[in-house]
Amino acid sequence: MSLFSVPTTYGRLDGHGHEGEHFLSQHLSANGDGSGATNMNGTYTLGTGDGVFYIQPPATDVWYIELLMVDIEDTAMAADTYGNINLGAGNGMLLYTTKDGPLGTITWDILDNEPLTTNVAWAHLAYSMTMYGFASSNTLLAARLEFDRISGGSLVLDGAKEDCIVFVCQDTLTGLIDHNILAQGLKVVTPTRNP
């Protein structure tokens, strides 16, 4: 059954949802709630704290993230560039989870200390990655990180613990046309928590 064939008031894919469960589709953003900047094509300097994009549930929610949809749009891309930017010996991008907010303690380094510096790096990380070339237009890299394939289940973000998924840009990406990461899953509002 398609994720979108179930009414959005239900939280379970089998259609047997519960009150307070809703589908979640939100971009990682500069302020974590999806209303800030979501396009990652900026100028970033290592160690300054800029270039941090994240998603964090409110304190009343627990979110079950099923997947991250990554897209990079640029002119013609190669395997060894990031979009169409040659980062060379650049610092790369980081992807991890934290507790205590986006600058808090790292709980899972999804990249295992291997920053993303190329398009092909997304292929190594993601369950599926495709590059779409359009006639006389830009190229789109689309990657899906499915957490059930990585960890055997959803990635749980507890708002009361200030859990986050964080993507850090450590190189200048102004040459990219577009770069976004969309999180999808299930959000539970005011859940019953175990002590």
Quick one: DSSP state of residue 194? P
Write the pLDDT tens digit of every residue in 57-83: 999 999 999 999 999 999 889 999 999
Query: Where is pLDDT greater, at 5 or 30?
Result: 30
Q: What is the pLDDT of residue 11?
A: 40
Read off the tokens for 23: 């589908």
Q: What is the pLDDT of residue 9?
A: 41
Burial of 77 (0-12, 13-18, 19+ CB in 10 A): buried
- Tell me the pTM: 0.86
Q: What is the pLDDT of residue 19?
A: 57
- 188 alpha carbon, distance to own chain's centre: 19
Q: How confident is the model at residue 181 (pLDDT cuts 50, 70, 90)?
A: very high
Write the pLDDT tens digit of every residue in 7-55: 344 344 444 445 578 899 999 999 999 999 999 999 988 777 789 999 9
Q: What is the pLDDT of residue 18?
A: 52
Query: Where is pLDDT greater, at 139 or 150?
Result: 139
The alpha helices in the chain, defined as continuous H runs, are 119-125, 147-151
Domain ranges (residues) in the chain: 26-58+67-149+161-181
Write the pLDDT tens digit of every residue in 152-170: 789 999 999 999 999 999 9
Q: How confident is the model at residue 110 (pLDDT cuts 50, 70, 90)?
A: very high
Q: What is the pLDDT of residue 29?
A: 97
Q: What is the pLDDT of residue 191?
A: 62
Write the pLDDT tens digit of every residue in 115-141: 999 999 999 888 799 988 877 789 999
Q: Which helix (H) or strand (E) holds 17?
A: none
Q: What is the pLDDT of residue 195?
A: 57
Residue 118 DSSP SS3: coil
Starting at the earlier edge strand, list the strands of the sheet with 52-55: 52-55, 164-169, 93-99, 105-109
Q: How confident is the model at residue 6 (pLDDT cuts 50, 70, 90)?
A: very low
